[in-house]
Structure 1
Amino acid sequence: MLTGRGALGRPLVVAAALAAALTGCSSSSQAGDAPDDPPSATGSSSPAAPSSAPAAQPAGLRTSFPKQELEFTELPTATGPVRGALESYVTFESLVRRSFRVAGVPPRMRRYASQPVLSIFRSSANTMQRRSIHFEGPTGIAVTSARGNDDLVALNICIDASQTMQVVKGRTKPLDGPPSTKVRAVVTHTDGRWVVTEYSSKGEPC
């Protein structure tokens, strides 16, 4: 389900909110199918704000994306399906960062996002291109919990964009809104892979 709130509201400070602010909406392709706490759970449950340095993570999960100036400062220790969902989400976020830096959606994002989610970022990219907007600067992401089962994993996320800047027609200025924001993502196992099917924020600070 896509919900509209008007065009180009205040620029929020996180990936979901940046996209939502540019297009005036958030995305959930399976509204009502993603409980706050799915049956089985793996991962930490207490929130923590992102720090400037990446935290140690389980082997195999990439946490640093220098070209996008993206650092994952917290990821839950996870195994099995939850780990698979986290791996796909991490890649998805790196592609989100790239889309905001170049005002265009990388083709690879189709593998990691459902069509409703993808359409929001495409609409955002189109708006950014029309208005000569892109974003620069570091972003820190803390995944504070990951809970789910073999089919669906819900992630609670804190995105710190306190050092992210918006560039409008060549002029750089800070983002409006709180320096960090809560985001909720749902990653669903479909057609043999994990894809982000919900990505939303109410603009609440974390």
Structure 2
Amino acid sequence: MILTFAAAAAMFGVPAEAPAQAAPEKSATTDCSPRAPDPNSREVIVCVQKPQGFRIDPDVMAAKKARRQALAGRTKTPQEKMRDNGCTVVGAAGCVFDQPGINLLAVAATAAEISARLARGQEIGSIFVTDPQKSEYQYYQDAKKERETKETDKRVKEYAAKARAAAPPADAAPAPNSGTDAQKVISQ
């Protein structure tokens, strides 16, 4: 909403004076100068630096995209989405092999691995992670490393192009010499 001086004055109950003449409109490219403003002028000049806007780190955006894709997985077909309820309707006992229990072999193997890691002074927390997934920070580090690699490759290509441009032309005749190494070997 843009208010003129008269409208603002009427809003706040200040008697509005008619301007002596209409002020010419200033263009948007008017530069701010350090000169003192005219005290009799009703013109207000506000000098501010043009905002560049917010910049979201491209590495963060790439990490979010990679995490979203990793968590999405592949789409399932209608046959994969169907649930198997066969064990719940087969007789009074149901499925014999679906009974909950403890796998004692897995417990013994895990205990042996824990004791071996403790003997070597290693951590044991990663043994208990059943569904390992990257953290957002790990995705960020991967995206940052990938971006830096691309930038380095681009700089190397630019440097190689400049070096080729600065090199003498390939069709130039070689400088005469007393003989090449291959000619010396053959003559001996």
| Common topology (TM > 0.5) | no
> Greater Rg, structure 1 or structure 2?
2
TM-score (structure 1 length as normaliser)? 0.19
Q: Counting strand residues as a fraction of each chain, which structure ranks higher?
A: 1
Whose RCO is larger (CA < 8 A, sep 6+)? 1
